[in-house]
């Protein structure tokens, strides 16, 4: 059986085998998910927000909970895509800005537009582009560098579960 998952704000739908994890959905859409820990629930580079269908996902496990507690951009609807398995239809995932602006394809789509909201680093919450500022090709290059230079190992070294 397959289940359908919708990705926002890029407005794409995709199918996944029942019990598959959200990370495989993101990868199938060519999103540039860093997967620093290799999908073990310890780095939060696959952090997403669930806008709908939280009940259609597997429950949060202890490791996922502990990792989410460390990140500044965590909200009640936060999940780690590598840990959240899709059990039923109706899941709507909201990608943090840092995730979809990392995707080269989506970078192209945002050039020349003004940021509708502050674009935040997916882990630190640092403001990369302020709301209403124009997104240019050079802006996006800076975002890429900012994300690539981020030292995930040291940021998460305080987590007792690592």
Kindly state the tokens that stand for 143. 């975002």
Please tell me whether residue 36 binds ligand FES under the rule CB under 6 A: yes
Q: How far apart are CA 90 and CA 3, in angstroms?
A: 8
Check residue 46 for interaction with ligand FES (CB under 6 A): yes
Of 39, 53, 96, 122, the residue at the interface with ligand FES (CB under 6 A) is 39
Burial annotation 21-36 (CB, 10 A radius, 16+ → b, else e): bbbbbbbebebbbbbb
User: With binding defined as CB under 6 A, does residue 98 bind ligand FES?
Assistant: no
Q: How far is the CB of 78 from ligand FES (least distance, A)?
A: 11
Site for ligand FES contains 84 (CB under 6 A):
no
User: Of residues 42, 50, 68, 140, which one binds ligand FES by CB under 6 A?
Assistant: 42
List, edge to edge, every strand of the sheet that includes 2-8: 12-17, 2-8, 91-94, 47-52, 78-80
Cis peptide before 56 (omega within 30 of 0): no
User: Does the footprint of ligand FES cover residue 35 (CB under 6 A)?
Assistant: yes
Q: Which residues make up the interface to ligand FES (CB under 6 A)?
A: 35-37, 39, 41-46, 67, 80, 82
């Amino acid at each position: 059986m397959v289940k359908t998952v919708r990705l926002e704000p890029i407005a794409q739908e995709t199918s996944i085998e029942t019990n598959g994890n959200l990370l495989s959905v993101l990868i199938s859409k060519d999103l540039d998910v860093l997967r620093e820990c290799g999908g073990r629930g310890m780095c939060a580079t696959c952090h997403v927000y669930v806008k709908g269908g939280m009940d259609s996902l597997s429950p949060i496990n202890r490791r996922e909970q502990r990792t989410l507690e460390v990140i500044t951009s965590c909200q009640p609807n936060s999940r780690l895509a590598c840990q959240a398995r899709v059990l039923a239809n109706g899941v709507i995932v909201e990608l943090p800005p840092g995730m979809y602006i990392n995707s080269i394809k989506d970078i192209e789509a945002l050039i020349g537009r003004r940021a509708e909201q502050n674009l935040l680093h997916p882990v630190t919450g640092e403001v990369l582009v302020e709301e209403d500022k124009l997104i240019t090709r050079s802006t996006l290059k800076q975002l890429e560098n900012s994300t690539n230079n981020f030292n995930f190992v040291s940021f998460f070294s305080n987590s007792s579960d690592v």
